[in-house]
Structure formats: structure tokens, C-alpha cells
A and B are shown apart, each in its own frame.
Chain A
Amino acid sequence: MAETRLKRTPLYECHLEAKARIVPFAGYEMPVQYAGVLEEHRAVRTAVGLFDVSHMGEIEVTGRRALDFVQYVTCNDAAKLTVGRAQYSGLMTPRGTFVDDLLVHKMADDRYFLVVNAANKDKDYAYLCAQCVGFDGVEVRDRSDEYAQIAVQGPKALPTLQKLTSVKLDEIKYYRFVEGTVDGAAAIIARTGYTGEDGFEVYVAPEDAPRLWRALLAAGREFGIVPAGLGARDTLRFEACMPLYGNDIDDTTTPYEAGLGWIVKLDKDGFLGREALLRQQGDGVRRRLVGFEMTGRGIARHGYPIWAGGKEVGAVTSGTHAPTLGKALGMGYVPVALSAVGSAIEVEIREQKVAARVVEMPFYRRAR
């Protein structure tokens, strides 16, 4: 059987040294865990963790009409960005569903840096190239292989990273970034993350990544830093109810259904999906992504059916035992009538229906 050759990030050797368990993910050989998911999860909530997220895609949009183009393909209002600001947004189909969710960084008036999901990168790039016809002078470039990305996350992320840079990190507000140097390497330092904690995402050239990784581990030692894998990344983002593309959102779900109406700016002129979203906003959604807590014994997992009143009414999109909260929690789509906090639902786990109750999202919110 033909096997697609898996790619490795520039930090692959570092993961082997740290005795990571490596799994295939989005075409890469990625560390899923080092010491253990729970320990890594706890370290990020209470101290600091280090993630290799070099598999993420980086796509650059340049040209005089770069903003017009970004405005056309995404649902949030990129015109609100000034240089040095980033924005969470959706790359939209004409039906108002997600091609992907992404971060849009404004590097210059004619240059935007899009960070997209690894599993979607090729699809996104092809989609952007197809859509940019008619935007004179706009160039779309896949620069993913030119960047490694390291996420430093947790309450001790700032003092850890601060040891390696003269950039005043406490002056970078949430969802802003600066271009500077870290441990002597040119870097984009963004105060963003996917864990529900304070932290930074640092983009550097691949050749600088292993040295930076080791320097960060040394810098964070006094705080109890650990390398953290995709397993902890998933439980951390899950507790914070940050959507995972392919689980909680995809090209059949709209931002309104996913509770992401705040990233849709209908007052913005013609963008892909606007008509469909305008209609849905007028008519109201039929289903909503909700969070739930298992009240019976069991753990809900992606794809398990959701029942209510003897009928199958939806499906679980994400679910696990939430380490910080010590509860079995899940997210899934249910009809609007069942979306209010307190609604009783059931999750089908191995042919048994187990009771659950709709609860508020996010499950976890850090103290600020």
C-alpha cells in the first residue's frame, strides 16, 4: 500500500530527545504527549508549557488590494486591524460555512499574514488562489515551510520568554504582535494562543527553531516548564471552548450556529457567504453548538449521537474528561429548543443512553 510520506517539523529531533510519543497528524509526525497529557495540561494551567505548532500553515497575502481581498474571503472586519494587530476570523464558503478558521495578522498596509489549520492548509491555499482572480496585483503565497511556530503558554509564559528578548512583552496586549528578536533570531511574537491561558506564539525561521526550543526550556526551568503535546493542546482548548476545525466547526456549519456570531460583520460590504449569513441572522439558526456536562457515568466523544425525547437530535463534536474541572464534558450541536442552559439531553455511548445537561460555555475561564 502506498503511504504518503509524513513531514517532520524542524523540532522533530527535540521531541525524540524528550521521549515524546509521535503520531501522524495533518501530514506531520507530531508529538502527542511527553510525560503525560494530564501533567502537561496542569503545567500550562499553573505554570508554563511549550508547544511545537510548526505544522500550522502560514499564508501571506500581499498587494495594493490585499485588504480588499482579505475582506472578501473572511467574515470578520480586517479593516479594523492596524499594523501589529491580529484577529480571529473565518474563511468562508459562499454558503456562509467555514472553509477554515484562522488568525489574520496585519503586517503592513499591503501585507497580511494568515495562520491556518495544518490539515486545511493546502485546501485554503488553493481556495485563496482561486478567489483572488480579479483582485489586481494581489499575491497569495504559501510560506508554511519558511516558519516554525512555538507556542509558550501559561501564567509563567511571559517571564519565560522575557529572558530571551529585549522586546517589552508586557506592552504587547492580547491579540497584538511585534516583529523583534528572540534569542538572537528574527521572530514574530504574538500574544495569542489556543489554551485559554496567557501566552505567546513565536514564529521563527526553521533553522532557528531547535536552538530557541532548548533556550525556552532552559529559561522556563525555574517555573517548571514542560514540553506539551497535541493531547494537552486539545484538552486545554476544549476546556476553554475554542473550536477545533473538523470537530466543532467545518464546511457544513456557520459561525452563528457555532456561537461565533461575534466574528461575522454583516455591515461589511460584499464578502463570501454574506447573503447566506444575512438570511440566517434574519431567520434565526435551527441548531446551536452547546456545551454539556455528563450527569450519568461516561465520556462523550466526537461523533456520538445526542438524543432527547426519544429522538436523535444531534451529535457530539468534542468530548473528554476535562482535567482542570475534573468532569466529563462535551460540545455538540442540538436544536435551538434544547440549547438553553439546564436542558436535559442524552449521549449515546456504546449503545447506552447516558444523561447529560447543557451548561455554560466556556467551561474554563482564567482569572485575569
Chain B
Amino acid sequence: MAQPNDRLYTKTHEWIILAGGEATAGITQYAQEQLGDVVFVELPAPGKKVEKGAALGNIESVKAVSEVFAPMAGEVSMTNGELETHPELVNQDPYGQGWLVRLRVAPGAADGLMDAAAYEKFLAEEGAH
């Protein structure tokens, strides 16, 4: 499965698009498939500061709750309000309309993230378990 190559990825299956000092983040196609039907998304209030890898919010499927992790350190500047009434966008369009948050990030925040090719390789290795 080809991943969009206009963005970066984490090992916890989040994606990030960096533009200026802002990062837009969401979860990957693989992550939404694992979650199943998303019925509720809980996101932090704008202004909240998060550390890389810290809990950013929760995504609930019919079956269970899953945490979403901050792909990089930063301050939440905006969340996807559309998900309040249409959480299924996370399943239907994880790389587009299903985005979760926008973060103000410091230079260098993207260090250690994977590009599309590296993430695909990571997924293939994960799948081999």
C-alpha cells in the first residue's frame, strides 16, 4: 500500500505535514484500519502544549478507546471541529478531511520521523510479526 509522499510518519502510525512553523497531524490508513469504525474523537483544546510522544487525544471505535500520541512537541493551534459530528472522516479520509490537529512546532521538531518509503518498510516489517 503506497503512503502519500508529501508528509512524514511516526512508528505509532501518525502522519505530519510541516508547513512554515505549523504541523498538521492525523493517523495513517493502517491506524484507522486497526481501529475500526471511529465513533468519537476527543482532541485537546487549542493552546495546550504537548511533548513528543505524549497523549494528544483519544479516538474511540465501537469496541474500544485508543490514545493518539503527539508526533512532535508543540502547541495545539487548531483542531478538526468537523470530527465532532463526523468522526467517520477518520476512516473515510485519514490523510485528508480526517486530519486531527494543527500544532505550532519548533525548528527541528521533525527529527527522527520517517518519510513515506521508510514508513512503508516499517509497516512491512511490522506485518511480518
| A residues neighboring B (CB under 8 Å) | 32-33, 36-38, 41, 231, 234-235, 297-299, 301, 320-321, 323, 328, 350
Contacts and interface: CB of A to CB of B under 8 A. Distances in A.
Nearest to A323: B62
Interface of B: 36-37, 39-40, 42, 58, 60-65, 84
A203 to B, nearest CB: 28
A231 B63 contact: yes
Contacts, number: 38
B40 A37 contact: no
B62 A320 contact: yes
* Among A36, A323, A328: residue with most chain B CB under 10 A: A36
B60 A299 contact: yes
| Interface residues of A, dominant DSSP | mixed
Nearest to B91: A36
Contacts of B84: 297
A235 B62 contact: yes
A42 to B, nearest CB: 11
Contacts of B58: 350
A175 B30 CA distance: 43
Nearest to A321: B39
B36 A321 contact: no
A41 B58 CA distance: 23
A32 B39 contact: no
A37 B37 contact: yes
Contacts of A299: 39-40, 60, 65
Contacts of B63: 32, 37, 231, 234, 320
A298 B57 CA distance: 12
A81 B65 CA distance: 43
